[in-house]
Structure 1
Amino acid sequence: MMEKTKLTAIFFAFILLLTACQQEEAEPTPEQPPEEPTETVESPEGRVADFIELWNNGDFPTMHSTYLNQGTQTVYGEANFVIWQQELHKQLGVENINVTYTKPDEDAEWNQDQPADFKINVSFDSIIGPVEFNKTLTLLYEQEDWFVEWDPSFILPNLEAGDQVTTAVVEGARGEIVDRNGKAMASNSEGYEIGVVPENFDLSKKQQLAQLLGVTEETIDGRLNQPWVQPHYLVPIAQIKADQSTLDELFTIRGTKQEKVVMRNYPYNRALSHVTGYVGPITAQQLAEWSDQGYTTENLVGRQGLEEVLQERLRGKAGGRIILKKQRENAVITSVENEPVPGETVTLTIDAELQKKIYTAMKEQPGASAAIDPTTGETLALVSSPGFDPNEFVPNITTSRFQELANDPLQPFFNRFAAVYTPGPVIQPITAAIGMESGTLDPAEGMDITGKSWQRYRSWGDFRITRPREDIKNPIDLNKALVYSDAIYFARQALNIQDNDFQTGLEKFGFGEALEFPIELTTSRISKDGTFGSEGQLADTASGQGQMQVNILHLANLYSPILTDGKLYKPMLYVSDEKSHLWNENLLSAANAKILRKSFSNTGEQLGIEIAGKSGTANERGKQTKWFVGYQASNPKLIVSMMIQGDARVEKMVEQALDTEE
């Protein structure tokens, strides 16, 4: 009975509820007043464009005073918006800031009660590399215009007011310089940075530490007395390339610590020193010139040779992290992270092993040498002897050692392959080529020459052309003249060349024209002013004397038309360059080139060597220089030119270098 009563109660309750709902539905709802149409306003795009232009120009005061909405200005006063942003830009090395926005649809309508959103892209360069992120820029309509809502995350992702910003910079590895076969000429290897914790350091071991590190005790004192040093700090003293025994001895000195670092290495040391150059600490002048390129006092930069020439290509791009120490969460997060980018690896046309062989053959006597491929102009070797060891400059050469090298009478720092010298008789084949092509020199026609010296007219005064030997049987033809370096023969032949054709011919071979070469080379010259001041000077120049000066690389190139039937190619050093830059052509007919090659073979036989070429002795400021330009007759794809200051069998040195070639 109780259950039935319960069900009845529920039933009536349900009926009452249903009735109430029906009555509520039946009652008419009062009419709502129609919504007022919202007023459309002008596009905010102009304000966005102006704000972004100020942003790109770094005009933060105007951005704050003229474009931020009231709420943003209240929360972020001028100190937070202007000064903090300027300080962060300086701290992060912000440059080339570029903010862009996505344009709205042309038919878009803008409502004063609705925010206006614009997608923007923010990018800039920093000390850790490029930074780029996307944001949404919101504008609110206030005081009959559009104003920007802003917060610190527009400076850096996840940045909030009160956060501390720090950076961890990682330098990109320096690019390597390699030869045509991929062998490293300047590379990166493992070294060690040795540091000292002052409170643990045994001062009685300071002298021992200085000797092991190759520094002075004063250097150690200077490092330890820097203003920032605290007793418990690790203070870097020097970087070294050390063997295990040195490291073990360093480890016995209490308070020292070792840390692995990357250091520059030059595997071919002296042989390639003037080509590679070396790296060293940035100078004050370089820092002043490059301060806007992210360089600091800690950077090592190229100081000579290709290390200097290729500085920007070899320089790695820094990476690292921008770190935020959050004020609210008491946490540390990374805002931006970039991997460092290594510098470019530059491949040269140089054959490092050939370079080493030539340098070894020169026995470190003062001189220069070059080797080229005559069919392409590729530079295969470029030697200045004696050289120096670039490894001594990494990370820093001692003052005493530098002075020792600087005061060496053999001048190891002087780059001889970049200089010019009086070439002497090795120019005679070029004189012959010009004479034959002009039609005034018949190679088979003999010339009667008597005596050791000669002058054309008595008006030459005391000036006379002198030849090395006077016992050569007449008549003297071109072959004899080349084999025995007969200066009188070539003087007379040059004087027979009509008008200015001898000068013009030399210019066609490149005299007076600067070589387009990565390493600066002094230009070969006919004379100081590029002309002949007298008949005597012209006659003397025919055998490479007078005021003529030639660069050793250009000299090797001068001989290439003799092997290419008249084509002269510009010298190259980078494999990436387009092959075979033709410098000039039709300098020599195939028939005349063959005649000169035959004389070169005869010269080799007369000198007792297995290679073809031309030798000569020149007078350079009262001292003798020995010259030879040669090649293997069986494989004439490599010309070697060499000059030694002093007495030497230079032709034997060239033969030694060529004999080791396959």
Structure 2
Amino acid sequence: MPWGEFKDTAAERRIFQRRTLVALLLLWVMMGVLIARMYHLQIIQHDTYTTLSDKNRVQVQSVAPPRGLVYDRNDVLLAENRPVFSVTIVPERVGDIDQTLADLQRILAISEEDLVRFQRRLQEPRRPFQEIPLRYDLTEIEIASMAVHRHELPGVEVNAELVRYYPFGEITSHALGYVGRINRDELQRIDPVNYAGTNYIGKSGIERFYEELLHGKVGYQHVETNARGRTLRVLERESPVPGEDIRLHLDIRLQKLAFELLAERRGAIVAIEPKTGGVLALASVPGFDANLFVTGIGVQAYQELNRSLDKPLFNRALRGQYPPGSTIKPMLAIAALDSGVTTRDRLIWDPGYFQLKPSGRRYRDWKRGGHGWVDLTAAVAESCDIYFYDAAVRMGVDTMHHYLAQFGFGEETSLDISGALPGLLPSSDWKRAARNAPWYPGDSVNMGIGQGFNLATPLQLATATTVMANRGQWQQPRLLNDVLGDHSLEGRLPPPSKDDIILKNQDDWNFGVNAMKAVMHSAKGTARRAAFGAPYEMAGKTGTAQVFSLAQDEEYDADEIRERLRDHALFIGFAPIEDPKIAVAVIVENGGSGSGTAAPVARALFDAWLMEFPNEGEAMVVGQTNEEDR
């Protein structure tokens, strides 16, 4: 059979044509589907996908407001903001977070503490695409290194932010408080909208009390980003409203002097302007550098502060609760006069001890052998314990409680000083509730010299001294002096909550003040050495608070007692007498006597304030203890 019979050329051509037609048909169908899909996406769904595209390209970022500044009464800057460069990571833009952290460790010095803090914040609730800081306060070399490797680290940025800075560090730490990173608990109570982009919040002191005033109002900006999420340009911006600047009554010169006067000692000083209640100085020594807490203090540094025997983190001025000792006697003298249990001229015999019963316990006077015959003025001037033992028993606890409460003891009376404790002003009801025991006459004896259950803070002692200086008129302590700019101070402070003290005989105030004057200027006044050579008249009262109790016939010998078990030295006073400009309370822990240790400190403060700091830059050191005064 010939070979040509096995090949049908016409049939093959028909098969090829049919296949080509089917292929072309399929191609046109597919092209039609693509064109229809393109039409659907580009025409019908145009608005939808344009919006989605813009969302990928344009993002809304919050802009944190600059925190308001804090000035002292002379416009010296106490709390400012300074730029700090930090490394931040946006987890949503990072592919492998562990690899990214490893890469960063090869570029920067990142401590284990930084990593632990970052991992903790990574697990906390937060807003999407919120930056999490990893390292703070980069050096110029570290910033340059990050710039070189920036293209290798998607989701990692070097950001500049304004961070709180306290130029005077330790000196203002307890008065101003400090800001710190917002923690989980604070996230639950703050306004998430207004705090978007804000990493810091007031933790204590003025920073916390006036947080709303200092924080400001958040701003926003629309930014264009590339596929990696890096910002290319700012499209639109609504600027944040900065926090308001405030001026305090605090005087940094007096504050520094207070620290210098208590150098190498533990104690507290509170100075108040009687006419306004403005706090001129609020010093707790030793203090701490508040700047350590702003971006997060290291574990080791915090442990050193927390474990220190001197307790630098403890605010003695507001939270130190001490027996007020004899500093409470001028207030008790007013109470005894007004309640009628004594008179200005009433004399008692002081043999050196007091007995409730002829054969009972002997309550000793600080002066062995006694003061002899004393009236009320001499009892205050010479700090005669026996007179006040007798007056306290005559008044009874509830009468003493009634009058001392009017001076602010047993309660927190400041307007804007957060964190202050109320101390303890005992009463018969209190002892029954707290100790399940009745009030005994012996308890009144101890209360009459500010011992026993009595506890007061230095702020309370300064407040009560201010009431004495004002002859019964109340000016509650406050730090805020003014809100700067065009804003009014109106409504910024809580309303006053204390009424003036009205006595049956208002002239008793002058009598009480003159008795305090005798403490400083009479021949037998316990603080006469501290007032020597003063060109003005001052009023005061020294005091000693026992750290531990002595047996009935045991004598106090400071040389044989461990330093931290020695008596606390106290002093309260104001000057000048006729037109008081400053009232102070001083406590030197384990300082011994008020006359030898605390009173000279107050005199230095009086001189500086009333004579406009004639020896600015020079500071005296707390003197040695003196046997005179209890």
Q: For the superposition of Structure 1 and Structure 2, which TM-score range results when normalised by the shorter chain?
A: 0.5 to 0.7
Structure 2 residue aligned with 1:177 = 70
Equivalent position amino acid for 2:530 in 1: I
2:463 paired with 1:547: no
Structure 2 residue aligned with 1:505 = 403
User: In the alignment, is the contact (CA less than 8 A) between 1:570 and 1:580 conserved in 2?
Assistant: no
Q: Counterparts of 1:203 and 1:305 in 2: how far apart (Å)?
A: 37
2:82 paired with 1:189: yes
Q: 1:465 to 1:316 in 2, by over 3 A?
A: same
Structure 2 residue aligned with 1:583 = 499
Alignment partner of 1:632 out of 569, 575, 583: 575
Q: What per-residue deviation string (whole Å, max 9, x for no partner) do you get for residues 180-208 of structure 1?
A: 33322221123343699x99x999987xx
User: In the alignment, is the contact (CA less than 8 A) between 1:176 and 1:186 conserved in 2?
Assistant: yes
Shift of 1:652: 1.4
Shift of 1:620: 3.5
User: In the alignment, is the contact (CA less than 8 A) between 1:421 and 1:620 conserved in 2?
Assistant: no
User: Where in structure 2 are the equivalents of 1:80-479 lying within 5 Å?
Assistant: 160=51, 162-164=53-55, 165-193=58-86, 210=109, 216=111, 219=114, 238-240=135-137, 247=140, 260-290=160-190, 292-293=192-193, 295=195, 299-323=199-223, 337-363=237-263, 365-419=265-319, 420-451=321-352, 453-457=353-357, 462=361, 464-479=362-377
- Structure 2 SS opposite 1:562: helix
User: In the alignment, is the contact (CA less than 8 A) between 1:448 and 1:474 conserved in 2?
Assistant: yes
Q: Counterparts of 1:337 and 1:591 in 2: how far apart (Å)?
A: 65
Q: What per-residue deviation string (whole Å, max 9, x for no partner) do you get for residues 621-662 of structure 1?
A: 554211101223365221000112112511111222222112
2:514 paired with 1:619: no
Q: Counterparts of 1:247 and 1:655 in 2: how far apart (Å)?
A: 49
Q: Counterparts of 1:278 and 1:287 in 2: how far apart (Å)?
A: 18
2:507 paired with 1:601: no
Q: What per-residue deviation string (whole Å, max 9, x for no partner) do you get for residues 235-262 of structure 1?
A: 9753328xxxx74798699958986542
Shift of 1:388: 0.5
Q: Counterparts of 2:274 and 2:377 in 1: how far apart (Å)?
A: 23
Q: Percent identity?
A: 27
2:394 paired with 1:496: yes
- Structure 2 SS opposite 1:609: helix
User: In the alignment, is the contact (CA less than 8 A) between 1:569 and 1:583 conserved in 2?
Assistant: no
Q: Counterparts of 2:220 and 2:326 in 1: how far apart (Å)?
A: 60
2:575 paired with 1:642: no
Q: Counterparts of 1:588 and 1:373 in 2: how far apart (Å)?
A: 27
User: In the alignment, is the contact (CA less than 8 A) between 2:278 and 2:477 conserved in 1?
Assistant: yes
Structure 1 residue aligned with 2:6 = none
Q: 1:272 to 1:536 in 2, by over 3 A?
A: same
Higher relative contact order (CA 8 A, sep 6+): 2
Q: Counterparts of 1:485 and 1:549 in 2: how far apart (Å)?
A: 19
Structure 2 residue aligned with 1:60 = none
2:601 paired with 1:653: yes
Structure 2 residue aligned with 1:137 = none
Q: 1:237 to 1:435 in 2, by over 3 A?
A: same
Alignment partner of 1:557 out of 463, 476, 487: 463
> Which shows bigger deviation, 371-380 or 594-603?
594-603
- Structure 2 SS opposite 1:544: coil
- Structure 1 SS opposite 2:604: helix
Q: 1:514 to 1:372 in 2, by over 3 A?
A: same
Instruction: Give unpaired runs (5+ residues) of structure 2.
Output: 1-39, 90-98, 123-130, 151-157, 432-437, 482-488, 532-537, 550-564, 613-630
User: In the alignment, is the contact (CA less than 8 A) between 1:273 and 1:387 conserved in 2?
Assistant: yes
Shift of 1:500: 4.4
Q: 1:347 to 1:247 in 2, by over 3 A?
A: same
Q: 1:248 to 1:456 in 2, by over 3 A?
A: same
Structure 1 residue aligned with 2:444 = 538
Q: Counterparts of 2:302 and 2:62 in 1: how far apart (Å)?
A: 32
Q: 1:220 to 1:357 in 2, by over 3 A?
A: same
Q: 1:486 to 1:253 in 2, by over 3 A?
A: same
2:403 paired with 1:487: no
- Paired residues, number: 487
Q: Counterparts of 1:218 and 1:546 in 2: how far apart (Å)?
A: 47
Q: What per-residue deviation string (whole Å, max 9, x for no partner) do you get for residues 99-121 of structure 1?
A: xxxxxxxxxxxxxxxxxxxxxxx
- Structure 2 SS opposite 1:520: coil
Structure 2 residue aligned with 1:571 = 477
Q: Counterparts of 1:615 and 1:190 in 2: how far apart (Å)?
A: 48
Equivalent position amino acid for 1:430 in 2: M
Q: 1:512 to 1:218 in 2, by over 3 A?
A: closer
More strand by share: 1
Q: Counterparts of 1:291 and 1:405 in 2: how far apart (Å)?
A: 33
Q: 1:619 to 1:326 in 2, by over 3 A?
A: closer
Structure 2 residue aligned with 1:9 = none
Q: Counterparts of 1:178 and 1:361 in 2: how far apart (Å)?
A: 23
User: In the alignment, is the contact (CA less than 8 A) between 2:545 and 2:569 conserved in 1?
Assistant: yes
Q: What per-residue deviation string (whole Å, max 9, x for no partner) do you get for residues 359-378 of structure 1?
A: 22121522222111222322
TM-score (norm 1): 0.64
Shift of 1:534: 1.9
Equivalent position amino acid for 1:657 in 2: L
- Structure 1 SS opposite 2:599: helix
Q: 1:430 to 1:295 in 2, by over 3 A?
A: same
Shift of 1:517: 3.3
Shift of 1:588: 7.8
Q: 1:314 to 1:580 in 2, by over 3 A?
A: closer
Equivalent position amino acid for 1:597 in 2: V
Equivalent position amino acid for 1:268 in 2: F
Q: Counterparts of 2:453 and 2:172 in 1: how far apart (Å)?
A: 30
Structure 2 residue aligned with 1:5 = none
Q: What per-residue deviation string (whole Å, max 9, x for no partner) do you get for residues 244-294 of structure 1?
A: xx7479869995898654221112211221222222222122224437445
Shift of 1:325: 8.2
2:421 paired with 1:522: yes
User: In the alignment, is the contact (CA less than 8 A) between 1:375 and 1:580 conserved in 2?
Assistant: no
Q: 1:484 to 1:251 in 2, by over 3 A?
A: farther
Q: What per-residue deviation string (whole Å, max 9, x for no partner) do you get for residues 416-457 of structure 1?
A: 222222101000111101112223322233211113x32212
